[in-house]
């Protein structure tokens, strides 16, 4: 068996799993914005700690499950499995040398640091490391390979390509238990994800959305890291990332602010929604403009209803869940529903029933889908840059978005109503 054999897909709910652990495809624009959002809200030091721990917890669960499924029992076998898994996911080549007492890791083409340098390196000087995901992964490898308790390994990135180093260099260390703020890891598997889902209803234009979504899912089956351990597709760097990494880091960020600085929590929540807007604008937009999309669906036209359906199909194809169209009236109103979304299982398992709607990524995504449909003439093949983003999703003329149903709150499905300006 190989790493490839670990991947499974629930067709009814459009959810993807790696050794039974949920994962999704996100591009580097979203990944970098997500990490910056956590740091902006908590501060650089606390943000790095939360992101590293979130990555360690997420990768520990998938490495434990993958080791069991592929019958990797010795430390050598488990470390080798990890070395194969990370680049397969498009997260880069990471050379790990570790023991029960610590070790080191190195990599020159890691998804986060490398893509940060590609996107911002010519304009922005960075001094802080960018690869908390690789740090958490290295710590998780150490814990799983040597049967260490959760929370007993930690990794510090000492050099980073985003800060102009020739390669990223990490120090893996043991640390005493009990001296850090360590919530128990929340492990979401296939059963938990499906249990949190509602009935996968058929929406408007369902047959076309389902067909295109299925075609994109089949295409993504062939996506894996190149010789650099990176996936460069749709004019972006794509990574198969564990849902729990995104969920733990974002919800932990908001939970901390609600406890310590409640007046700042609404700002952090809107930043979390902004991450969804960034994702749809960059990832969905570049998919629509790609030659791969034209081969799958055909040339783009300027019908807004087509773009709405296409975006919902893309969400399904990337493993975001069963998003479907409930209502769309051009230039007036867009209603999106979801029977499954990768945010829901983690939140419910970790925090219980929410007191109000908390579909941050889902809400930002619905907003951006409406903006892409209404504000872009796709047949003219626009340039997806910051100017267009601000025109569509910035300023005071933005659409009004309301989450009227939320599975985290106990509703059977989630629903977003976008009222266009």
* Predicted local confidence at residue 235, as pLDDT: 87
* Predicted local confidence at residue 222, as pLDDT: 86
Q: Of 129, 347, 353, whose CA–CA distance to 253 is shortest?
A: 347
> What superfamily would CATH give domain 190-419?
Trafficking protein particle complex subunit 3 (3.30.1380.20)
Report the 3 state secondary structure along 359-408. Answer: CHHHHHHHHHHHHHHHHCCHHHCCCCCHHHHHHHHCCCCCCEEEEEECHH
Strands 231-233 and 236-242: antiparallel
- Which residues, 6 or more positions from 419, have their beta carbon under 8 angstroms from its beta carbon? 332, 333, 399, 400, 401, 402
Q: Which two tokens stand for residue 10?
A: 């629930």
pTM: 0.95
CA angle, residues 332, 337, 339, in degrees to nearest 5: 175
48 vs 31: CA distance, rounded Å: 14
For 200: left if phi > 0, alpha if psi spans -120 to 50, otherwise beta; the answer is beta
* Predicted local confidence at residue 54, as pLDDT: 96
Residue 136: its H or E element:
helix 132-145
* Predicted local confidence at residue 355, as pLDDT: 94
> What superfamily would CATH give domain 22-174?
Trafficking protein particle complex subunit 3 (3.30.1380.20)
pLDDT tens for the chain, 421 residues long, are 688 899 999 999 999 999 999 999 999 999 999 999 999 999 999 999 999 999 999 999 999 999 999 999 999 999 999 999 999 999 999 999 999 999 999 999 999 999 999 999 988 899 999 999 999 999 999 999 999 999 999 999 999 999 999 999 999 999 876 544 556 788 999 999 999 999 999 999 999 999 999 999 999 988 899 999 999 988 899 999 999 999 999 999 999 999 999 999 999 999 999 999 999 999 999 999 999 999 999 999 999 999 999 999 999 999 999 999 999 999 999 999 999 999 999 999 999 999 999 999 999 999 999 999 999 999 999 999 999 999 999 876 679 999 999 999 999 999 999 999 8
Provide the residue ranges of all domains of the chain, joining segments of one domain with +. Answer: 22-174, 190-419
Topology alike, domains 22-174 and 190-419: yes
């Amino acid at each position: 068996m190989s790493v490839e054999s670990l991947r499974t897909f629930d067709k009814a709910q459009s959810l993807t799993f790696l050794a039974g652990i949920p994962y999704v495809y996100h591009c580097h624009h979203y990944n970098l914005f997500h990490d910056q959002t956590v740091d902006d809200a908590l501060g650089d030091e606390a943000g790095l700690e939360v992101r590293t721990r979130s990555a360690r917890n997420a990768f520990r669960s998938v490495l434990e499950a993958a080791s069991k499924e592929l019958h990797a029992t010795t430390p050598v076998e488990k470390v080798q499995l990890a070395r194969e898994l990370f680049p397969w996911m498009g997260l880069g080549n990471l050379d790990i040398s570790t023991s029960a007492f610590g070790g080191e890791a190195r990599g020159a083409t890691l998804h986060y640091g490398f893509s940060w340098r590609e996107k911002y390196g010519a304009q922005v000087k960075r001094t802080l490391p960018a690869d908390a995901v690789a740090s958490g992964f290295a710590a998780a490898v150490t814990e799983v390979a040597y049967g260490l308790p959760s929370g007993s390994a930690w990794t510090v990135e000492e050099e980073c390509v985003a800060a102009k180093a020739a390669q990223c260099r990490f120090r893996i260390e043991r640390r005493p238990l009990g001296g850090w703020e360590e919530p128990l890891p929340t492990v979401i598997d296939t059963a938990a994800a499906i249990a949190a889902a509602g009935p996968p209803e058929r929406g408007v234009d369902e047959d076309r959305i389902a067909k295109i979504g299925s075609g994109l899912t089949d295409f993504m089956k062939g996506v894996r890291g190149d010789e650099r351990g990176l996936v460069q597709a749709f004019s972006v760097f794509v990574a198969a990332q564990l849902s729990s990494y995104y969920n733990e880091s974002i919800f932990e960020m908001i939970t901390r602010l609600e406890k310590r600085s409640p007046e700042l929590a609404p700002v952090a929540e809107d930043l979390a929604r902004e991450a969804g807007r960034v994702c749809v604008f960059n990832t969905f937009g570049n998919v629509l403009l790609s030659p791969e999309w034209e081969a799958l669906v055909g040339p783009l036209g300027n019908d807004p209803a087509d773009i709405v359906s296409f975006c919902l199909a893309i969400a399904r194809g990337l493993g975001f869940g069963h998003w479907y169209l409930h209502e769309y009236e051009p230039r007036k109103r867009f209603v999106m529903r979801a029977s499954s979304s990768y945010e829901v299982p983690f939140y419910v398992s970790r925090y219980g029933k929410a007191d109000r709607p908390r579909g941050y990524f889902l809400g930002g995504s619905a907003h951006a889908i409406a903006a892409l449909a209404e504000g872009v003439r796709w047949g003219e093949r626009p340039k997806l840059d910051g100017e267009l983003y601000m025109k569509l999703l910035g300023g005071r003329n933005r659409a009004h978005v309301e989450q009227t149903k939320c599975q985290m709150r106990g509703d059977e499905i989630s629903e977003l109503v976008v009222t266009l300006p």
